[in-house]
Amino acid sequence: MRKYIKFLGIILGIIAIIIIGVYIYNQIKISNYLSDLTYDIVQESYDNCGDYSKSKYQDIVPENIYSSMNYLLGIDKNERNNIRIVKAYHTTPITLILSGITAKSLYTAEGYYIRENEDHETGGKFSPTVYWKLDDDNVWRVSDFDFPP
């Protein structure tokens, strides 16, 4: 009887370890997916100067949030040819899974430019947060965007 209980305990322990391992693997997979997706959206918003009509992410990012992700602050899509970019980059986001259906991606961006006929740089460095929510269709969508001053 003792051998049977010991054997059963070992089997249950192995099953628990497998379940925990699969859960952790899935969390890492989701985190990496959302980090890559956030990076791509931020880069596209920068490339398009926040022009939502050119976005391939319209189904997962609202227009007001998409245009805010452009880290060349104060530049309209029609002004892109009238500036000289001094410095522009954003880091790879770090995504934290907050619950099974919410997450947040944090990154740092910096953008400085000089407008035509001006002699000073405009721009800044900031650390925004993109908030994600898993909807009923099992699709991750941007639910909010925090752009600290």
One-letter amino acid at 13 equals: G
* Alpha helices by DSSP H, the chain: 2-47, 63-68
According to DSSP, residue 143 is labeled E
| Structure confidence by residue, pLDDT tens digits, 41-96 | 999 998 888 889 999 999 999 998 998 888 887 777 777 778 888 888 899 999 99
Percent of the chain with pLDDT over 90: 60
Cα distance between residue 83 and residue 90, in whole Å: 19
What is the average pLDDT across 120-126?
85
pLDDT, position 149: 65
Closest CA to 40 of 117, 107, 137: 107
pLDDT of 101 over the 70 cut: yes
pTM for this entry: 0.85
